[in-house]
Amino acid sequence: MPWSLYLALKQLFPSGKRFPFFTAISVVGVMLGVALLIVSISVMGGFGREIRRMIVDTQGDVQVRAGGYLSNIDQVMGAIEGTPGVAAVSPFAEGVVMLEHQNKPAFPGLQGIDVNRINDVIPLNSYIRAGTLDFLDDDSIILSSRLARSIGARIGSVVEVYSPLLLEKIKADEVMLPRELEVVGIMEIGHQSLDSSLVIVTLRRMQELYGLGEGVHGFSIKLDEGRDPDLVSRELNARLFEVAPRAFARSWMDANQDFLFVVQLEKNMIFFLLIFIIVVAAFSVTSSLLIAVVRKTREIGLLGAMGGRTRDVALCFCWQALIIGVSGTALGVALGFTVLHFRNNIIATFTKLTGSEEALVRFYEFANLPAHLSTNDFWLIVGLAVAISTLAGVLPAWRAARLQPVEALRSE
C-alpha cells in the first residue's frame, strides 16, 4: 500500500480513537446526498416506468390509425400480420359516450375490442378485478373501477349508453332509446385517470354505437420480444401505403413523445438540482481538509524531511477525499435502498398522520409509490458522487503540495 494511502486511512480512522468527528460529518454529508438522489431518481424512474408500462399495456407496442376509420380491415390486418416482428394484432374502435346508472351520468372513453384477439396484444385479463372478460358480449360492458364506484354500478348492474350518433338522432326529433348493457367486469389498471374514464365493449357494439359499419379506428399491435417499435413502425408504414394510404403506424414512444419528454425532463431536473446536495457536501469535505492542512503544517514538513515527495503529500489529501466519497456513497446507496424498500410504509404513515391519503392517490394517480432505478442512473449517481467528493480534495492537496518542508517545519 502506498504510504500516502496508508496515512490517509490512518488520518481518517486513527489508531485507538473513536470515529473522528470531521470524518463522520463529511461522510454523512455525502451519504445524505447520495441517498436522496437514489430515492428521488428511483421514484421518478418508477413513475416513468409505470407510465410507459401503462401506455404499452393499453395501446400495444405500435398502433395503426387512420384519420377517420378504416373499412378494409382484412387487407390492412393481412399487411400488418405479414410484417416481420409483428406477434399479434387486434382491431379497435373508440370514442366518447355518455353513460348513466341510477341517474348518475358519466362521460367515459369507450373502447370496442376484438374479444378473441385482445389478450394477445394487451394483458386485459390481468386488470379485471371482478367478473370476467369471457362474459363480454354485444349486450355487456366492462367498467373501470373508479368509474363504477362513482356511478354506483357493480357486476350485474345495467347501465345506459348514449353515443354521439344517438344524440344526433334525438336532435333530429327521432325517438332513440339508449343501449342497455349489463356490467360483466370491473377492471383496474392502477392509473387514476384511466381507472376513472375507460369502459370496454365488443368491437361490434362499438361499431353499432358509432355507426361505423364494418370499419375500425385502428389496430393495436404487439411485437416479438426485443423488436424495436420504431423500426417495425417504419416497415409497417411502407407496407400499409399500398392497402390504406391514410393509415399510419406509430410506436408507443413516438405517439407519446411529448409526454415522455416531459417525464424525462422532470427526472433530469430533479437529478440536476439534487446533485447540488453532493456539491455542498463536497465543499464541507474541502473545508475540513483545508483545516487539516493548516493544522498539520508541521507534519507535512516532517513528511518532506523524511523523504516524502510533494506529489505523495498531495495524494494523501486526495486519498482522504476519495475515501470519504466512497464511504459516503456506499452508505448513501445502502440508506437509499433501505428507504426505497420501506417507501410505501413511510408514505402510509406520513399520509395517515397528515390525513392526505386520498389526495396523494388522486394527485399522483398511483396506488403505490413506484420505484425503479436503472443501472445507468445508479452508476451515474455513484460515479458523480465519488468524482465530486474526490475533486473536493484537490484544493487541500494543492495547498499541501505548495508547502515547502522547511517553511512548514519553521511554522508556529
Binding-residue pattern over the window 98 to 127 for another protein, x denoting contact by CB under 8 A: ------------------------------
Residue 11 touches another protein, criterion: CB under 8 A: yes
Identify the residue among 94, 137, 254, 299 touching another protein (CB under 8 A). 299
In DSSP notation, 115-143 reads TTTHHHHS-GGGGEEEE-GGG--TTEEEE
**What does the alpha-carbon distance between residue 101 and residue 118 come to, in Å, rounded to a whole number?**
27
Residue 3 touches another protein, criterion: CB under 8 A: yes
Binding-residue pattern over the window 240 to 279 for another protein, x denoting contact by CB under 8 A: ----------------------------------------
In DSSP notation, 153-183 reads --TT-EEEEE-HHHHHHHHTT---PPEEEEE
Rank residues 11 and 144 by Cβ distance to another protein and give the closer one. Answer: 11
Q: C-beta of 14: minimal distance to another protein in Å?
A: 4
Q: C-beta of 303: minimal distance to another protein in Å?
A: 7
Rank residues 112 and 393 by Cβ distance to another protein and give the closer one. Answer: 393
Rank residues 208 and 312 by Cβ distance to another protein and give the closer one. Answer: 312
**What does the alpha-carbon distance between residue 382 and residue 395 come to, in Å, rounded to a whole number?**
22
Identify the residue among 53, 169, 204, 298 touching another protein (CB under 8 A). 298
If one counts every other C-beta atom within 10 angstroms of the C-beta of residue 102, the result is: 9
Q: C-beta of 292: minimal distance to another protein in Å?
A: 11
Cell of 334: 445502502
Residue 92's nearest CA partner among 207, 242, 244, 179 is 207
Residue 336 touches another protein, criterion: CB under 8 A: no
**What does the alpha-carbon distance between residue 260 and residue 410 come to, in Å, rounded to a whole number?**
63
Residue 288 touches another protein, criterion: CB under 8 A: no
Identify the residue among 263, 303, 385, 386 touching another protein (CB under 8 A). 303
**What does the alpha-carbon distance between residue 236 and residue 64 come to, in Å, rounded to a whole number?**
9
Identify the residue among 67, 82, 307, 355 touching another protein (CB under 8 A). 307
Is the dihedral angle over the CA atoms 127, 133, 137, 142 positive or is it negative?
negative
**Stretch touching another protein by CB under 8 A, among 42-50, 247-255, 308-316, 373-381:** 308-316
Identify the residue among 108, 178, 308, 328 touching another protein (CB under 8 A). 308
In DSSP notation, 189-216 reads -SBHHHHHHEEEEEHHHHHHHHT-TT-E
Residue 186's nearest CA partner among 129, 108, 124 is 129
Q: Would you tell me which residues interact with another protein (CB under 8 A)?
A: 3, 6-7, 10-11, 14-17, 298-299, 301-310, 404-406, 409-410
